[in-house]
Structure 1
Amino acid sequence: SILVWITIFLISCVQFYFPRYWGEIHVRGSDLAYNFSMLTVALVLINSLVKLSGAQERKLLNRVIEQESVLQRAKELQFRVFDWLDAGLMVVDQQGIITTINQTALVWTSESHRSKIIGRSFVHFFPEFSPFWEDRGQISLRRNTVTSQKRNVIFGFKITQLPAQQGWLILFSDITDVQRLENQVKEMEKLASVGELAAGLAHEMKNPLAGIKASLQLLLSGDMDQEVSDRLARVIVRDIDRLDFLLKDFLIFARPREARPEPLDLGQEIEHVLMSFRLQHPMVRVQVDVGPEPYLFDRDHLHQILINLLGNALQALQGREKPVISIADMRDSGQRKVVVDDNGPGLDPTVRGRCFDPFVTTKALGSGLGLAIARRLAVQNGAFLELLDGPDGGVRAVLTQEQPSGRKGTETQDSP
């Protein structure tokens, strides 16, 4: 500013004292003083603005430096948090190139520094994840496990897409010991279940065996007329039949035949089961309303489930003036449900939470395995069986099965 001011001052002096260089017009001293004053004021203002602009620029620069420092500290903290995780963590782009990796994941590689990992494909270091990477869109919502033959461990992992298509987060950990403990717990539960079943079977067999023994002792004692002997013989036959029925149910429950699902006409299969049921129980009105779509299930298993459910409903309807059983077909959120309703008194509160436990029954002559068998057969066919309170009283049995993906858009059909 000072240099500009001096330059303009010299030019003004030359203009005043040597006017011939600037034309014929002679500049008056008052004009020169006025111009010079205005020039001085302008220079002062320009100088002030330059200083103010410089101060603002320095302030802005300091703020940028401060923000960069905060960002750098946040980034360092982020890496520290990542490194504190016991699980391995990687962030990869859409092509599977590693952009971030924590210390735990780095330990599983043969490299010693992140710089040798960043920018390379994660499949190169973790080939066991490759099949899941190809199908990442379908598995991103669930936790998966994979056995690494190279490292002799079992990894539990999850692949999740980051927001705004920024890439994918791969989180994994060594669950070998956890898996081993889970297997041990399952074996212990299996042994406990076998012991419980054996105890229940022994308890159920005790009464028929006691009846058979007492009847045989009386027959062997002699000195009784033919009518009493015949009655004791019938008791023995009845108890033997009960034991046979109990053992058959137990074998079905303990070792059910492997399911062989096939497309079935649900209405036709239900009518097949109801044919003998209607002949034996003509007073019970049975309503059927199911769709024509094929039902993928094992035929024998479906018959066994329906027989058990109808038997339970029949027992609940004893004493009803107008007993009614309805069987309907429903669809809801990609699921197909076979619903069996009765107008009986509803679930017995004493067994409400134990209906599917083995040997739990309210029947005088029941084995207590019917519902347990039905649920087990349902699970073998990829379905689930449950008992609920009916909408109008009574019991509602619901057999739920996921529909094939190609038919999820089928229009919902509600029960009457």
Structure 2
Amino acid sequence: MSDPADAPANADSPDVVVRSDTARDSSREASVWRNRSYVRLWMGETFSQVGEQLGTLAIPVLAVLVLDATAQEVGLLNAAETLAFLLIGLPVGAWVDRMRKRRVMMTADAVRAVVLASIPLLWAFGVLQIWYLFVVGAVVGGATVFFDVTYQSYVPRLVRPEQVASANSGLEASAQVARVGGPAASGGLLAIMPAPLVVLATSIGYLFSFAFVASIRDDEPRHERSQHASLPREIGEGLRFVFGTPLLRRITLMTGSFNLFGGLVLTLLPLLVLRELGLSPAVYGVVTAMGAVGGILGALCTPWLSRVIGEGTVIVVAALVSSVPPFVIPLAALFPSAAIPLLVGADFLFSFGVLVYNIAQVSFRQRICPRPLLGRMNASIRFVVWGVMPISGVLAGALGGWLGVTTTMWIGAVLSLLGCGIVLFSPLTGMRKLPDGPAEPVRPSAIAD
């Protein structure tokens, strides 16, 4: 709901990376599931996603129903959770390119597990307040910045280039399964136990993720300090690659636009569902789970859709599909008797469109980016597309308190749709084959007649 830049002077040569599992599989069928390191990463992410989905529903329920948060406080909570992408999003990419990626992910998992476990502890002593959720959101968000930038940079190290799309599809499919089962399970748990205890499940999920990531065996070399250029120069290399590659620049600006304006809708969704519509957390969980089935379908269909309508066109179509649900969600307030089917339909379509869009564009950018630049490239994109989220959160809270929840949602829906023009009126429309490298020109034959 991701032109050639100068080669980094401090870059590791891709040739020094030894992919032991992948090398052993080279003589066998090119299946990413034969790669044991990838499977361990997939298992860790699956457990992490299950725990995260339990907590994703529990935390807004905790804020709205237990701590009686206002629209402004809900907006600030959303802003705190994504603030790190704006504050440290750019240097994280350079830092990650200097670090061993598996260790970065393990540290991020450990930090998130410990911090989230403190919520039920403070609640048990009767001292939990809304401001502490802001602190937890900011710390967890910072760890997530490190994990996400590292994670997207790590996949190409574990699998062969031709397996990147399949690897991403597998990871996104399992994430969507978690998005189906997690909210439903969370809703059921919230019906029988307090929200702070459900948050504890998120912490446990991160502990499982830590264990599986720790078990991955790779040969990523130690990065020597003498290899690295100055931090500003490294950050600049990532930004120049992203904004100097025309198609990548379009995709990044489109995603940032959608997150900024679509965030006005998604930030206020818990208030609409739990307070204005008066639905229970259990019903909210079931609605979210049923809608997330669309994401599973999207993850499974992306390779086929890319072949049928083209690798560039599928990005445009998925962006347009994703812009429809923000118009459907506020209709639930106008037609409360049909609120549940409207919300399920909107969530289903949104999950489908976003997953197709993300798999297609992330696979494209992983494919064209030089491996030593992956961390900075991902960080530069995350800085733009997630850095707007705290702005969106504060704006949603302010407008929601001033104009009302549904009016703010309508504004977000219209602006989200207009943002699709960034990719709609671009060479991506009608493009059958995306470039395989940053310097590869767009050939006339790559455009559909």
Task: Give the TM bin, normalised by the shorter chain.
Answer: under 0.3
Higher RCO structure (Cα 8 Å, ≥6 apart): 2
TM-score after normalising by structure 2: 0.19
Q: Looking at secondary structure, tell me which structure has more helix per residue.
A: 2
TM-score after normalising by structure 1: 0.21
Q: Looking at secondary structure, tell me which structure has more strand per residue.
A: 1
